[in-house]
């Protein structure tokens, strides 16, 4: 099943269920935190840029690891 890419400038969360558990601690992204999805990197298909609410930019993560939040979740 292909996952939907979040819309630009939407609030997202990193979906840790999309990756093996042994990688969870190595990622700078944290479970339960929200990020602003800035979009897909033009010359790196399927990779994106997100920013956390402290202002740190995270890039080159797979777009399909992010889930857009509903209005109720934001």
Q: 17-65, pLDDT tens digit by residue?
A: 988 999 999 999 999 999 999 999 999 999 999 999 999 999 999 999 9
How far apart, in whole angstroms, are the C-alpha atoms of residue 74 and residue 69?
7
Global pTM?
0.90
Q: What residue spans define the domains of the chain?
A: 10-27+37-73
- Beta-bridged to residue 47, according to DSSP, are 62
Q: Which two tokens stand for residue 69?
A: 């939040």
Q: What is the mean pLDDT of residues 3-30?
A: 93
CA geometry: angle 64, 42, 33, nearest 5 deg? 40
- What pLDDT is attached to residue 47? 97
- What pLDDT is attached to residue 4? 85
């Amino acid at each position: 099943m292909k996952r939907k890419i979040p819309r630009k400038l939407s609030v997202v969360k990193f979906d840790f269920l999309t990756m093996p558990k042994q990688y969870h601690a190595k990622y700078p992204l944290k479970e339960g935190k929200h990020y602003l999805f800035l979009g897909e990197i033009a010359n790196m298909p399927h990779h994106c840029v997100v920013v956390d609410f402290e202002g740190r930019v995270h890039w080159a993560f797979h777009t399909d690891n992010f889930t857009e939040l509903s209005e109720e979740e934001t």
